[in-house]
Amino acid sequence: MVTYTNCFIPIYNFNEILYNDEFRYLIKGYDPDDNKISELSNKEINKFAEIFDIILNEYSELNINSSVIADFKKRILINILEAQLKISTDILNLYAKHEDFNVLAVLEPFGYNFKEETVNEDIENVIKKLKGLSNQIRIHKVNHSNKLKNKSNKNRINLHKEALQFESILELGYSLNPMTTSTYKWIELGKRYEQTIKAREHGSN
């Protein structure tokens, strides 16, 4: 799969990822009505999240909007912690069923280490840590939810409305299509739009 890797991703795709966590919009030519591309695996989601993080950093340099970036990164953090909790729980359940010590090695990247001679004690310690992780996730979700109450719909840009504003105020002479216009160009048009509005306001005073 060929993916976008910078702000030349269409602004429509950018928004779908930013607000809906729909990482398939990173894939060039992705069509939600086309069933050829199925749901992404956890591994693919993590990979695509890293790519989009790079795009977000470029976006932040072009268009300072720290609240949008902070919101996205908070959601990514919650997703990562939830994945860690699920994988850890599944592995412990698998060990409890088969008592295969080797499966516990999967949890080492999370900082959970086991020794055969103290495996039961080690598992108890990990279970305690997972309870703490579960509480941490719950706190993150509550804090994030409180910040977004009555806010998400206001923050989300109506691209088609904004396109009409750009076309009119900037006298572009052509129609903007959010599904094909790059995020980079959209940001630049937004800057020109703001400058034009300010110039008109200044001229009317």
Q: Which of 91, 93, 85 is nearest to 141 (CA)?
A: 85
79 belongs to a structural domain:
yes
Question: Pick from 122, 139, 156: which residue ends a domain?
Answer: 156
Q: Note down the domain range covering 164.
A: 159-204
The pLDDT score that the predictor gives to residue 124 is 95
Opening angle at CA 184, ends 27 and 14, nearest 5: 40
pTM attached to this predicted model: 0.61
pLDDT of residue 151: 45
The answer to whether 191 touches 65, Cβ cutoff 8 Å, is no
pLDDT digits (tens, 9 = 90+) for 134-175: 998 988 877 766 655 444 444 567 899 999 999 999 999 999
Instruction: Note whether 139 and 127 are same-domain residues.
Output: yes
Q: Specify if 145 maps to a domain.
A: yes
pLDDT at residue 6 in the model: 95
Residues 69 and 152 in one domain: yes
User: Which of these three, 123, 141, 156, is where a domain ends?
Assistant: 156
Q: Is residue 39 part of a domain?
A: no
Tell whether 174 is covered by a domain: yes
Question: In this structure, is residue 138 part of a structural domain?
Answer: yes
| 132 in the same domain as 166 | no
Domains: count for the chain: 2
Per-residue pLDDT at 64 exceeds 80: no
Q: What is the mean pLDDT of residues 113-124?
A: 94
Inter-residue contact 53 to 98 (CB < 8 Å) = no
105 confidence band (pLDDT: 50, 70, 90): very high
Shared domain for 92 and 124, answered yes or no, is: yes
Q: What does the mean pLDDT of the chain come to?
A: 86
pLDDT value at residue 67: 63
Clarify whether residues 152 and 167 are in a common domain: no
3-class SS of residue 88: helix
Please indicate, yes or no, whether residues 141 and 78 belong to a single structural domain of this protein: yes
| Burial class of residue 180 (count of CB atoms within 10 Å of its CB; 0-12, 13-18, 19+) | exposed
Residue recorded with tokens 């109506």: 158
| Model pLDDT, residue 43 | 83
Whether residue 88 is found in the same domain as residue 127 = yes
